[in-house]
Structure formats: structure tokens, C-alpha cells
Chain A
Amino acid sequence: MSLLLGLTAHELQGLLVKQEISSEDLVKEHLNKIKKVEGELHAFVTIAEKEALQAAQKVDEKRSRGEELSPLAGIPMALSDNILTAGIKTTCSSRMLENFIPPYSATVVEKLQAADTVLLGKCNLDEFAQGATTENSAFGATYNPHELKAVPGGACGGAAAAVAAEEVVFSLGTDASGDLRQPASFCGVIGLKPTYGSVSRYGVVTGASSLDQVGILTKDMTDCALVLNAISGHDPHDSMSIALAENEDYTGSLLNDVKGIKIGIPQEYLQAVDPEIITQLQEAVAKLEELGASCEKVTMPYRDAVLSTYQIIAAAEGSSNLARFDGVRYGFRVETEDLDTLYKKTRGQGFGTEVKKNIILGTYVLSSEQYEAYYLKALKVRTLIKDAIEKLFQDYDCLLLPTTPTVAFAFQDERANTLARDLDIWTCPANLAGIPALSLPWGMVKGLPVGLQFWGRAFAEKTLLRIGFALEQNTNRTRLSLKGKGVC
């Protein structure tokens, strides 16, 4: 039975449809895996065992009644703990929401429920998705399933580790600067950040509203397309979500064919990258050319500005979004005699250091005296970055770069602080431009996974799926095994 754990959603669905296995079996199998590895891994903040078993039984009943079910029905999955689940604790890995049980669910959660997927639990992340290693969780770090001494990446390290460690079949996280792609790369799973506006943000606790998108973590490209089918689409509750064609079927773009696709490789983003990763990337280029795509080095300006631009915008929006956690209506509260002290003590003790640093930075850049010098300027530079990327898309269908300049580093690595901050350089331009971005596992370096990153034009997820699928079909580098190491 434990063979089931290695399978993808579409592979498992075949067995479920033939009723060779039940969803309950599948869920139990994964819950057992969770029990086995969680002590070492800590990918989860909350495990919803009872709810998961009930949901699985319900799907099995539906199946036995012959009801028509979605391709994800009965599949065990997990959500990053900043995605609201009615009745199930949603903590954002913060003391502030340690005991917060939301009265409503995020739109993506409702969509996954409508598809009869089974939620096993809520995954650890950096507090309020602020961080790059999952070390900033108020409930302790998550560990990399491939190497427990290494960070899993972040902010959504738990969601990536849970898929990599086969605790769930797929998971959702959020990505405001690479928070999903970077841990996908470190943990060796597929991470897709869709175009801004294509997936609803309603019910997702976001730090940076204009950058954040709910994204998908899977073991293969077909699952990625299936989950995207399930969660994308216009949501009347999210004014920034975009009405595209209803019921888009992304599996249609899973073609083993990249002939004629023009790929640009921004050379600025090959700087300061581990040479071994560069070698891996060159092998990917050779493979893509062999399959009929054309690859060229291109120039993408403003590399030196992306980090500060991102940080100013994210801190500004984050400081505002997190202002609601004031101890008045819900969540953590320090009982005091007067209102001012209530605010100060609740926020002082409820938030962790990284979050407080960002709030202070955001408050500063939005202050009336600094607004023009920082926030307004960052908005202008953001436009320049976006325009530069869009200009490249006039000539290229896709941009290719490493997801990270290094493989996962050790927890105690003295370079960790600088590295963690600089990682965003390779990922956050896609958030600043609002375009879709895919991180695809591409072999190992030093025994740890490497991720290739592909950026597409806005709403051109199909191009990314097609490239990822072709590489997956023609190589054995995209599905990384845990055999013999880490938490296996």
C-alpha cells in the first residue's frame, strides 16, 4: 500500500475510479505518513485528521452512488496556514492567530471542497508569510525533507515540504515574492504562481496585496494543470480577480511539444548563481533546443532595483494589512487597563521580530514625509521593471532562469541571512510584473534539488505548462526521489 504515497493525483484517480482503493484508504495512508515524519519535519501547524476522514468517507459514498466526480475527488491535500478554512484553525504561524478559527473559508478552499478534495491539514510558514526559510514561524521551523539540516525555503516551506515528503499529494501556498517557487525549488517539487488576478485572494491572509497570488505545489505537471483548473477563475469577492473564459481546461496544454517556442534567458540573473546550477540550466537549454525550442540570452534591466522595490511595496502593504490585528475583536490580546496599552502590548507580543521589522519599515515608507521618496518611487520603478519584462515578451514566449541561486542551505549557515534576503531577486520580478511563473525540479546539486524557473506572459500559464510537461516527458530530472535520505 505504501506505494500509493509516491503517486500523483491523476495516477491515484485512476485507482479510485476503478475502486481499487478508496479515498479513506488513501487518506489513512497519508495520515500515517504524516504521523511517521512530522516529528522530524514539522510541515504542519494543524492536522485535521477527523475532518479528513469524514470528508474521505463522504467522497467514497458519492463514488459508490455513481456520482460524477472531479479528477481531484478524494485526493489528500494541504493548505498553507494563511489560507482561511471555516471551522479549522488558521494561524498564519503567528501567536496573533494561534487560536483563531475562521467563520468563513477562502474562495480557493470552497473550490477545492467543491472538487471533493480532502484537506489533511494546515502547513507551516513564516509568520504572515514574511520570511524565506520558514524559520520565522511562531511554532518552530520546518525542515527540508531531502536534508533535515537544510532549510525548506519559505515563506511557504511547510506546504512544499509536505508534498516533497509525500504527506499529501498536492498543496496550495501563496507567493508574493517567490514564497512558493523558492521552497518548491529547495524541496524538489513543482510550484506554479499563476498570473495576478487569475486565482481569487478572498480569504487569503496576505502581506502584500498587489503582489500575492495563491499558487500550486504538485509532484507533476498534470496535477498542476488539474489543480489550476479547480482553483482559477473570476471571484466576485475579489475585485482584482479577472474574468476570463469560464471553465478553462489547462490540461489541454499538456502537450509534449515545444517546437518553435522562443525562450529568453536574462543573463543578469545568471550572475551570483552557483556554477553547478548554471551547468544544470545549460543542460536544460540543450534539452529544450533538442526538443525544438529556441533559447537566447537576453538582457533584462533593473536587476539591482528589484529587491528594494519589492521590499518597500511589500512592507508598505503589509504594515497596512496587518494593522487589523489589534486585539480588539479577535485573536491574541494582552488584557490592559487602557486602549493605547492594549494596542501596544498586543501587537508587541503577538507579532514576531521579522513581522515587526516589516511593519516598522512599511510605516516609515508610508509616512507623509517619506511617501514620495520611497513608496511612490518604488511604484514608479515597479512600472519600469514591468515594462522591461513585457518588452521582452514581444520577442520571447517565455523567460528561463534559475529559481534560486543556490540549493537549500543549512539552518546554521552564516550566509543564511543575506542569502535568504537575496533569494527574492530571482523570483520577485514575476510578482512585480504580475506574470505567471513556474518552478520545475531539475535534478540535484550537492544532493539537494535544483529548480528551473519559467516566466510567461500574463495569463499564458498554458505556455509554462506545456514547457514543463515536455521536459517532464523527455527527462527523468523533474520527479525527485527521497529514497534513502531525509525523512524517507
Chain B
Amino acid sequence: MRLPRIFRTTPFRLTLLFLAMFAAAAAAFLAYAYLATAGEVTRRADDEIRREMNSLEAIYRRGGSPALNQALIERAVGERPFLYLLLDGKGQKITGSIEESPLGEDMEPGENWTTFQVTDTDPDGGEVKRPARGLQERLGGGEVLFVGADVGESEGFVTGIVRALWGAGALVILLGLAGGVAVSRNVSRHMAGLNDTIAAVRAGDLKARARVRGARDEYDELASGLNEMLDRLERSMGGLRHAGDAIAHDLRSPLTRLRARMEAALIEVEAGKGDPKQALIQALDDADNVLTTFNAVLAIARLQAAGSAPDQTLFDPGQLAADMAELYEPLCEDKGIDFRAELIPRLTVKAARPILAQALANVIDNAIKYTPVGGAVMIRVRRRSSGEIEFSVTDNGPGVPMEDRGRVVQRFVRLENSRSEPGSGLGLSLVAAVAEAHGGRLELDEGPGLYDGFGPGLRVAIVLPRVE
């Protein structure tokens, strides 16, 4: 048998535990109170009986049996709540309010205490038995005196208290259970919201989010934590799916081209027209291009999936740019391009040096590729007033029209007029991925502008966040 859900919740179980502890404490208290009160009642009754016995004995000592008899008769008429019985030496009743001693006539010497029951008539004429205490002693002349007291009323008082305590305990337990149910309901309601979200995500809805009520309590904390986790998950899942699509897209066309060319070459060779060696060299070239594209796409996908570049260290960006300048300067000179470097020294940047070097190489490669003979390429490193570190490469090639600047950063986009140049078209998107993996960005701007027959040029900047 399964309990209803509400009874299986943690808060409800905790409530039960607390109630059990409370009930045990209450029972202990009850037991103590009963023992203490009940003992006290008996003790008081015994004290009163003892005093009465003492005063009767005093009367006996002064006036003997007749005086005692007289006193007992007087007292029996009065309102004193004592029960008396005086027996002579032979056990015959002399006087008294009860007929025979609950202890009988045989008795030990000294004080003889007993607890017994008296039968009384209630107002309806029925019989009620009530508890009583009694003391019996043998007097100097051999007579036996019994003094008893009805303790029924006092005991009733104790019983009343005990009953009240039981009632109170039951009430507390009931209220506790109700409270437990209420708390469980409340917790369950909040948890149900979170569980619904998790179930929805499990069922495939990555957009499901838990409701944050704004109460800033632990449920809100849990809900926003869950939401943040889901955001992160969604982003990386999205990135992965995007990477998969992009790889498929970026590789399909070069592979198709490679296949078509090989097919054409095969037909030519079969027809005895083509040169097999030339066809193989061409195919190898094509395969290399596919691999280059593949590596670039993979590098981008990895950077995007990782979120941030691995193994970042602090170093001088000017030093890195100087190294790159040293690598590329002869190439520019060879091509008749004026190459300049303007590097602010002793700056600090935090980055994965090899990856950033590759990105910078891509930018410089691009600039040199598109800059005509007699043009200029300039590499600069500076700190912006915002504290960001900027690597920029400016050329005075054809530039990129404003409306295309967002597009060239996307994968595999090559502008129409650059189709004749070799390259996979992934250069700038890799650079953008590198910048983003460092928490930075890639910026494209107009170069120095049209002059002397040169194009408007392009300024490509990798902007990395300031180092704290």
C-alpha cells in the first residue's frame, strides 16, 4: 500500500519525527506530574488522618474510652470528613461511622495504614465507591481506633489534571500533524514547480525554466540556480548543434568539388586525354584544402564549445605582435608592401598565447593577401581608455563594404570579389571565435580611406578585456 504523496514528503516526515519526540516528552511530563500530584494528595490525606488520630488519642489519654466515644459521636455529627471506628478489646464496635475496619481486628503493633474503598450513595441513590485512606491503632486500654478519610475528591482532581493533560497532548499532536501537512503542502508545491521544469527538460524541452517568485528564499535560489544551469546547457547544446551543422555545411561543398574533379579526371584519363599524375596532384591539393577547412571549422567549434580559451597566461601583447611582425615583415617587403608596427610596450593581456598568435597571423595573412603592391599594412597594439587591449591590423586594400562587415565574420563567407584569391574563407570567423573565447570581440572598420588610387582599406581589431 502506498501512502498518499503528502505523507511521503520530507517535511511531513520531519513533522512526524518532531511529534514523536514531543509525545515522548509529554508522556514523561505526564507521568512525573501524575506521580508527584498523586503522591502529594495521599501524603496530605495521611497528614490530616495522623493529626486527627493524635487529637483523638489525646482525648483518650485524658478521659479514657468514654471521653473518646463522646468525641467520636460529636464528630460524626459534625461536618468533619473523617471516618471513625472504635472497637473494644474484643473487637466489638463501640462507636463509629463505618461498620467494620477494612484492616480487620488483627493488626500489627503501632501504626497500620491502608488504602480502601468506601461505598457512598450518590444523589440518585446509586452506589459509588470512592478511594479512601485509613490509619488503625491500638489504644492503651486495648481498644482499636480506626481513622479514615475519603480521598476520592482529591483523587478526582488528580484524575482531572491527568485527563486534561492527555487531552492537551492529543490536541498538540493533532495540531502538529495539521501543521506538518500544511508545511509539506507548501514545500511540495514549490518542489512540484521545480520537478515539472526538470521533467519538461528531460522530455526534451530545453527552453523550460523554473518560476522564480521573487521571494529570495531558498526555493528561489534553487530555481534560479536550475535556470542558470539550463541556460548554460542550452547554450552549449546549441553551440554543438550549430557546430555540427556548420561542419556539414562547410565540408560538403569542397568535398563535392573534390569528387567532381576526380570523376572528371578519371573520365579524361580513361579517354586517354588527361595526365594521371596531374590529376592526382590536383586531387591532393583539393584534399589538403578540405583538411585545412576541416581543421579551421574544428578549431572554431572547439573554441565555441569550450566557452573560454584553455591555458590562458599573462603576457606582453606588444611582444607577441613584435614576433608576428618579425615573421611577416620580409613577406611584405617581398610583395612591395610597406609594413609598419606601432606597439605600445609593457602592456599586459591574459590569453592563450598560441591561439591568439594564430588569430593574429590569420588577420595579417588576410591583410597582406588583399593589399596591392605599393600599399601598406600596419599592426598596432594599444590600450584603449576602457582598459581593453586592442590588436589592430590596418591595410589599404579593397576593404569590406559596411553592409558586409557583419557577414564576413560568419563562417565560410567570402565576398564576391575575393573569390579569385585562395583561402578557405574561414579566416575571420576563426579570429572572431578566438576573440570571443577570450571574452573579447572582433571589430571591422574602414581603413585609412581612399587615396592615391588605393582602396578604402580595412581595419581589423581584436579587442581583449582589460586585465584586473
Question: Do the two chains belong together in a single complex?
Answer: no
